[in-house]
Amino acid sequence: MTRDFPVSSREDGRWVYQANTAAIKYIEKPAVQQVIPKYALYEMELANFLGYHVNKSKCLVLIDSVKSKSLLVVPMWYGDISENFLELFIGKQFADSAALMQFTTGLQELMLIGSTGAFEMPVYTSDKIVFDYTYDAGASDNEVWRHIEIIIDDNKIKRFTSTNPKMNETVTVR
């Protein structure tokens, strides 16, 4: 971890591994891991340095056991969907819609690591899976921060989109 997330880094926006606070936890998500078998999944606390601000957060880190490389999935509060993470699933075929839904549930749980929001309003159809990432807006109902779609064709993932409904900005992963 110290190689990929070094304390000595001076890059603004960097994520840093601190052994004394990382609290590394191995994660088992069989429906996801069978799709990306060369990766081991871990949850750990990293520190983010942005200017003078230091934010600690739980993050998802995938370790490629073949190449000994890591893939950081930052919490959704920090940005948006993790493009590098979701690219791993583009083109993946599932045996049936039940297997795809089971995978989606596991994927959502991984995407929420380090975030305080929730996924709500899931809708499953033959060509897409849609859900909203919401956050607590105080006295009012939860606000939608991202509207996420998984576009599928014959139980095969074609792309992911994440739209910020307030800004009307969309990130697409193909």
- Name the average pLDDT for the chain: 93
pTM of the model: 0.93
Range of the domain at 128: 14-173
Q: Flag whether 45 is in a domain.
A: yes
Query: What is d(CA 87, CA 85) in angstroms, rounded to the nearest whole number?
Result: 6
Q: Express as a percent the part of the chain with pLDDT over 90.
A: 80
CB 43 within 8 A of CB 27: yes
Inside any domain, residue 23: yes
Largest Cα–Cα distance in the chain? 49
Q: Please report the beta strands in the chain, taking only residues with DSSP state E, as ranges in sequence order.
A: 14-17, 25-27, 39-50, 53-64, 69-73, 118-124, 128-135, 143-153, 156-164, 169-173
- What pLDDT is attached to residue 10? 67
Q: Looking at this protein, which amino acid is placed at residue 48?
A: N
Counted domains in the chain? 1
Is 2 domain-assigned?
no
Residue type, 90: I
Model pLDDT for residues 55-112, shown as the tens digit of each residue: 999 999 999 989 999 999 999 989 899 999 999 999 999 999 999 999 999 999 999 9
Q: Is 110 a member of any domain?
A: yes
Residue 147 lies in a domain: yes
Residue 139, pLDDT > 90, answer: no
Domain assignment present for 64 = yes
> Which candidate, 110, 163, 108, 118, places its Cα nearest to that of 141?
118
Beta partners for 48? Answer: 15, 55
Residue 3 domain-assigned (yes or no):
no
In a domain, 52, yes or no: yes
